[in-house]
């Protein structure tokens, strides 16, 4: 990747000073067992896009979960007594609550029909990432991938196999936030990059040391990509080109604030 380095400055802009967010069209409905890496490479080709080392490929969690068969039929779920109690209090489907609890390692808030959970991975989000939307069949729900970083690494390897290129890969999910209305996309799995761009210790424009700023660029890339997705239509994969992402072997789990440094858990 050294040959491409000179095209970028340290802000991650290419020589044209432009970052492009390109939605990949023509991704088919994904089924368990599908080869996502190959599907992405083909969709890019059909759109006339040659994948590059310096691209970031941003993939919606939902299609990764489907390809990995992380789907549960509620018909097969027997709720625990606790799930029944919670469901009754919150006016929810006890089978759905049961699936959510199975994905949960810690309950953060349980109030007003909202279940804010810490998932087995350590992410804090509503319903532990269990979701009904864009899943075929009324009784099916999707779970987050078992290990989203591993999913990202596997897709990245497959893309490398097929194209010789090693773009960064980000898997995203759509979450609400405390204090603010509306959802945005967050990074839940990454490969080939660090989730942070670190300015700590660098001087600002006036020579003072920037003390605290470490930008969560994996989350910013996730949010940027969402702009080209749209919820109800079939654009689950986006290519971001022209951003010199921080190379490395980071994990999306690095984005999780450790419990002892968290004032809101």
- Taking alpha carbons only, the member of 202, 201, 231, 198 closest to residue 214 is 198
187 in Cβ contact with 252 (< 8 Å) = yes
44 in Cβ contact with 51 (< 8 Å) = yes
DSSP-derived pairing of the beta strands 114-119 and 104-111: antiparallel
Beta carbons within 8 Å of 56's beta carbon, 6+ residues apart: 167, 168, 169, 170, 193, 221, 239, 240, 241, 243, 245
Residue range at the interface with its own copies (CB under 8 A); choices 6-14, 88-96, 147-155, 163-171: 6-14
- Hey, is 37 helix, strand or coil? helix
Residues 171-200 that bind its own copies (CB under 8 A): 174, 177-186, 195-196, 199
Q: Does 208 bind its own copies (CB under 8 A)?
A: yes
Residues 64-103 that bind its own copies (CB under 8 A): none
Q: Does 138 bind its own copies (CB under 8 A)?
A: yes
By beta-carbon proximity to its own copies, the closer residue of 67 and 158 is 67
Q: Does 31 bind its own copies (CB under 8 A)?
A: no
Q: Does 4 bind its own copies (CB under 8 A)?
A: no
Residue 30: CB minimum distance to its own copies, A: 11
Residues 213-252 that bind its own copies (CB under 8 A): 213-217, 219-221, 223-224, 226-235, 243
Residue range at the interface with its own copies (CB under 8 A); choices 64-72, 80-88, 160-168, 253-261: 253-261
């Amino acid at each position: 990747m050294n040959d491409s380095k000179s095209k970028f400055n340290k802000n991650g802009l290419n020589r044209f000073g432009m970052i492009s967010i390109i939605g990949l069209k023509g991704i088919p409905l994904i089924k368990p067992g599908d080869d996502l890496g190959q599907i992405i490479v083909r969709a890019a080709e059909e759109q006339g896009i040659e994948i590059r080392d310096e691209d970031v490929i941003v993939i919606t969690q939902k299609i990764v979960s489907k390809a990995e068969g992380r789907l549960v039929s509620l018909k097969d779920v027997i709720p625990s007594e606790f799930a029944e109690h919670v469901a009754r209090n919150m006016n929810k489907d006890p089978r759905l609550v049961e699936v959510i609890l199975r994905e949960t390692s810690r309950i953060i808030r349980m109030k007003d029909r909202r279940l804010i959970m810490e998932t087995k991975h350590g992410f804090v989000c509503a319903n532990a990432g269990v979701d009904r939307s864009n899943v075929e069949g009324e009784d099916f729900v999707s779970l987050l991938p078992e290990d989203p970083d591993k999913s990202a690494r596997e897709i990245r390897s497959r893309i490398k196999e097929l194209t010789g290129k090693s773009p960064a890969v980000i898997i995203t999910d759509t979450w609400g936030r405390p204090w603010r209305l509306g959802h945005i996309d967050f990074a839940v799995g990454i490969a080939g990059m660090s989730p942070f761009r670190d300015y700590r210790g660098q001087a600002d424009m006036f020579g003072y040391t920037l003390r605290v700023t470490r930008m969560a660029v994996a989350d910013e890339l996730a949010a940027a990509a969402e702009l080209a997705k749209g919820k109800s239509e079939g654009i689950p994969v986006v290519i971001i080109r022209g951003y010199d992402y921080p190379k490395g072997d980071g994990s999306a789990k690095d984005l999780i604030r450790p419990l002892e440094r968290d004032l809101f858990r």
